[in-house]
A and B are shown apart, each in its own frame.
Chain A
């Protein structure tokens, strides 16, 4: 059974750092891209970036480049999203999702359960 299990909810203060995780199982982790998607409270979906765990090739949306870092550790089938200095506007649910690396672009076919990040003083 394919699973993407994300780390639990976080409450942080502005200026703090944070790293959340997404662990894949039930499939070949290194053969799928893992993406991160933000959903601010009551809002739509924002595509943040993707990483290919096989070689750590990473692509960012211009809106998120320099604001977050996406990484992966293929030895433990886990992808990460991290911030060095959180802002209140980073309050959102963050989803990880996978899509296959089949040579042609693919949609996200399986999603994690989401991680709620709350940034408040």
Chain B
């Protein structure tokens, strides 16, 4: 089973700043199967990025994903007030379980 770790656990930033979130896999994974989700309090998660770097429908271009092998990154170029949330990565490869990382909380500094 692939284990995902995310860092940092919490990222304290101001609106307008750049956010860089990390997701590391316990073994090399296909970048085709790496996704990022955003979850706001009291809401279900929302798909942001799939295939490591493709934005889901309706996702603003300030969100970008990159990486390969074991190291992946979600970048928010300029934080908007609505971007303060928890972000989870997920490996959704062919075999279950399709694990999630523990999450990174982006909060207002």
Contact = CB atoms under 8 A, between A and B. Distances in A.
A7 B50 CA distance: 28
Interface of A: 35, 37, 44-47, 49-50, 59-63, 95, 97, 99, 104-114
B96 A45 contact: no
Given A45-B45, A111-B45, A113-B44, A106 B96 contact: no
Interface of B: 1, 32-33, 35, 37, 44-47, 50, 56-57, 88, 90, 92-94, 96-103
Given A105-B33, A105-B92, A107-B90, A46 B46 contact: no
| Interface residues of B, dominant DSSP | loop
B47 A44 contact: no
Contacts of A49: 96
